[in-house]
């Protein structure tokens, strides 16, 4: 017999349906059975959880995570990162391929998905590689990757051999109705840069990456998408010019979506002034003007989703001079807190912020979850807005401790997380 659970007295916020009200949520097995103030007929709860003063929101969907396994378990494992995810209210992770762990064939896709299911924490979804080994030359068997369960394809941040290879990839992925995730980078303009090109890079003497390294690539991708009449998703925008190009494309009715990493909404190139390698990210932190444009882009829907772009590293990866360190932030545990901080700072309404990591994120990848709806699987988190805490690397659950947000104070975090109707995390610490 299916287990029945009642979550009572919660502030239920579901941007997809426009719901923001005090109420109860009833679960029958894995499924949401009812949302309201009274239980459905014949429903007797086996377990009742009082969520007074807490917000019940759909499980967070993270569109970009580097889980490192198989091959880089010294950085992180699916086990460690899946647990870190649910501790932070994230119920779905999209596994990005990288050269060392390249999902370019069916057996590897099957392995990753099987490992994810075995952990029984956050759902693990694979994003396959567009080209063999992410080398930008030979296209993968995208039909086979889709059959194996890949939710989308990408060439990550690796360069295509030429524009025609990109064009063929866009055409081929559309044949299989497979979402195409593209990182807009003109590698020739990027060169060996490691920070935003501007006054700060000149002052500290680090090689810069101009904003045009991104905006020219965005323009190229949008032009090809319009010509081929295919949908594309632009990953990790960082420049104000990119936001404007996407806004114009959407106004023309082109099927273009975009996301931004949460850390890009809080830090700028000023934060690299002291050569802190924890602020070494790609794309780089840009100017305050860019940050403001990114925030406005999320607020007005130009940018569809906020993701973590989680890249856990071992300690040694950040112990060299700035430009010799590996880029990336361990970001699972700050995705939801940073997103809610945008609301506290008045950057956007609560519903918009939550939508950017739930329903809007889900739509970019054609995921049915990301909302609270009767009949859907019960993926959600209880968020306690009164839980005041400070981020400590010693208490992070991710295997990677590389975050520039250590020491930051936050008001609110997840107290419980449910995946498929099962409580997979309960906060019992500090």
Which residues have a catalytic role annotated? 309
**Half-sphere exposure (Cβ direction) of 289: Cα atoms closer than 13 Å:** 8
Question: What is the rounded distance in angstroms from the CA atom of residue 192 to the CA atom of residue 253?
Answer: 36
Using CA atoms in the order 290, 315, 336, 306, what is the torsion angle rounded to 10 degrees?
40
Instruction: Give Cα 194 distance to the centre of its chain.
Output: 22
Please give the structure tokens belonging to residue 377.
Answer: 């699987």
Beta-bridge mates of residue 258: 234
Q: 385: helix, coil or strand?
A: strand
Decide: 343 and 353 in contact? Cβ < 8 Å. Answer: yes
Residue 322 DSSP one-character state: G
Question: Which of 360, 338, 186 is CA-nearest to residue 261?
Answer: 338
Please give the structure tokens belonging to residue 280.
Answer: 């070494």
Q: 45: helix, coil or strand?
A: coil
Residue 116 DSSP one-character state: H
Question: What is the rounded distance in angstroms from the CA atom of residue 282 to the CA atom of residue 309?
Answer: 10
Q: Could you tell me where the DSSP H helices lie in 104-141?
A: 106-119
Instruction: Give Cα 144 distance to the centre of its chain.
Output: 25
Q: What are phi and psi of 52, to 5 degrees?
A: -55, 135
**Residues with Cβ < 8 Å from 378, sequence gap 6 or more?**
25, 27, 30, 31, 32, 418, 420, 421
Place of tokens 């990550």: 156
- Angle of helix 350-357 relative to helix 332-344, nearest 10 degrees, comes to 160
* Residue 199 host element (H or E): helix 199-204
Q: Could you tell me where the DSSP H helices lie in 120-239?
A: 142-148, 163-175, 187-190, 199-204, 212-228
* Residue 177 host element (H or E): none
Q: What are phi and psi of 366, to 5 degrees?
A: 60, 45
């Amino acid at each position: 017999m299916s287990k029945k659970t009642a979550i009572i007295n919660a502030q239920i916020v579901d941007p997809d349906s426009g719901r923001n009200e005090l109420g109860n949520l009833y679960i029958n097995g894995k499924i949401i059975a009812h949302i309201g103030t009274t239980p459905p007929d014949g429903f007797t709860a086996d377990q009742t959880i009082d969520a007074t003063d807490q917000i019940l929101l759909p499980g967070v969907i993270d569109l970009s995570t580097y889980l490192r396994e198989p091959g880089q378990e010294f950085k992180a494992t699916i086990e460690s990162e899946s647990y870190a995810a649910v501790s932070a209210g994230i119920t779905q992770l999209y596994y990005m391929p990288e050269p060392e762990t390249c999902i370019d064939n069916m057996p590897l896709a099957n392995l990753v998905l099987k490992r994810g299911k075995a952990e029984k924490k956050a759902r693990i979804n694979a994003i396959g590689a567009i080209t063999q080994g992410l080398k930008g030359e030979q296209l993968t068997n995208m039909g086979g990757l889709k059959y194996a369960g890949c939710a989308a394809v990408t060439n990550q941040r690796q360069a295509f051999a030429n524009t025609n290879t990109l064009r063929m990839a866009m055409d081929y992925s559309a044949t299989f109705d497979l979402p195409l995730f593209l990182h807009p980078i003109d590698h020739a303009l990027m060169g060996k840069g490691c920070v935003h090109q501007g006054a700060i890079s000149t002052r500290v003497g680090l090689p810069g990456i101009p904003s045009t390294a991104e905006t020219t690539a965005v323009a190229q991708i949008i032009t090809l998408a319009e010509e081929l009449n295919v949908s594309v998703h632009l990953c990790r925008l960082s420049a104000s010019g990119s936001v404007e190009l996407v806004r114009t494309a959407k106004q023309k009715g082109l099927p273009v979506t975009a996301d931004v990493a949460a850390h890009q909404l809080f830090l700028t190139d000023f934060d690299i002034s002291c050569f802190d390698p924890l602020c070494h990210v790609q794309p780089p932190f840009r100017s305050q003007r860019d940050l403001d444009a990114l925030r406005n882009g999320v607020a007005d829907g130009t940018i569809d989703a906020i993701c973590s772009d989680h890249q856990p590293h071992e300690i040694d990866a950040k112990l060299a001079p700035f430009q010799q360190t590996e880029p990336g932030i361990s970001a699972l545990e700050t995705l939801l807190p940073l997103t809610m901080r945008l609301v506290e700072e008045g950057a956007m309404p609560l519903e918009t912020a939550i939508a950017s990591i739930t329903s809007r994120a889900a739509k970019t990848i054609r995921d049915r979850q990301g909302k609270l709806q009767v009949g859907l699987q019960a993926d959600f988190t209880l968020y306690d807005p009164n839980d005041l805490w400070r981020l400590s690397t010693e208490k992070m659950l991710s295997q990677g401790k590389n975050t520039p947000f250590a020491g930051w104070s936050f008001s609110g975090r997840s107290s419980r997380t449910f995946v498929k109707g099962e409580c997979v995390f309960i906060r019992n610490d500090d």
